[in-house]
Structure 1
Amino acid sequence: MGRLLRIAAVILNLGLVAAISGCAHTTKSETAGQYVDDSVITSKVKGEIFREPGLKSLQINVKTYQGVVQLSGFVDSTDSARKAGDIARSVQGVREVRNDLVVK
């Protein structure tokens, strides 16, 4: 009976540790204001890319986190990838651009 209680206690403790660690604070958090700012930057970058005739038909994804814009997807030339990066850099509030566009 004592062995069964020890096993149950270990299982209960493991469950508690798992539950508590799931509530741990992550280092990648942003305030509501930062989230809104990033959303505005993303929208502006997407809009500027769409306005560019050579880029608007391409599959370019834009994500922003704390002012850092990540471009991903596929473009038809290195010139298109460079142009998309330049457009993203020109948007107010952008601190950095990570251009992960792939030429297909």
Structure 2
Amino acid sequence: MKHARALAFAALAGLTVLTTGCAVTRNQETVGAYVDDTAITTAVKAKFVDDTTVSASAISVETLNGTVQLSGFAKSATEKAQAERLARDAKGVREVRNNIVVRP
């Protein structure tokens, strides 16, 4: 169980780096801010994986200069609110923009 959780976290971290890898080249932020944003995104996704009410695979997380944007689909308003709460509680988050759509 420990190994599966660690493997899932490592996979999320790797996926985060691969999917957001071109942000610095577009001069959107400094390298230090990019690293911080990547850490925030990974932390939020890990919180989603650990939480039983939030579907980590249905909600996307993007971070720019400490602002986290959530998008995707939730099965209920409770799931949407929990995802926002988890994101707000992550270290380094300045603001959360919750664009999750509730879809039964």
Report the count of equivalent residues. Answer: 78
2:49 corresponds to 1:50: yes
Q: Aligned with 1:86: secondary structure?
A: helix
Give the aligned CA root-mean-square deviation in angstroms.
1.5
Larger Rg, first or second structure (1 or 2)? 1
Per-residue Cα deviation, 1:39-87 (whole angstroms, up to 9, x for no partner): 0000000000110012135500000000000000000000100000000
Distance 1:31 1:98 in 2: 22
2:91 corresponds to 1:87: no
- Structure 1: gaps spanning 5 or more residues: 1-25
Distance 1:77 1:83 in 2: 10
Which portions of structure 1, spanning 4 or more consecutive aligned residues, are displaced by more than 3 angstroms?
none
Distance 2:98 2:47 in 1: 16
Q: TM-score, normalised by structure 1?
A: 0.71
Report 1:1-104 matches (<5 A): 29-56=28-55, 58-104=57-103
Distance 1:57 1:64 in 2: 16
- Structure 2: gaps spanning 5 or more residues: 1-25
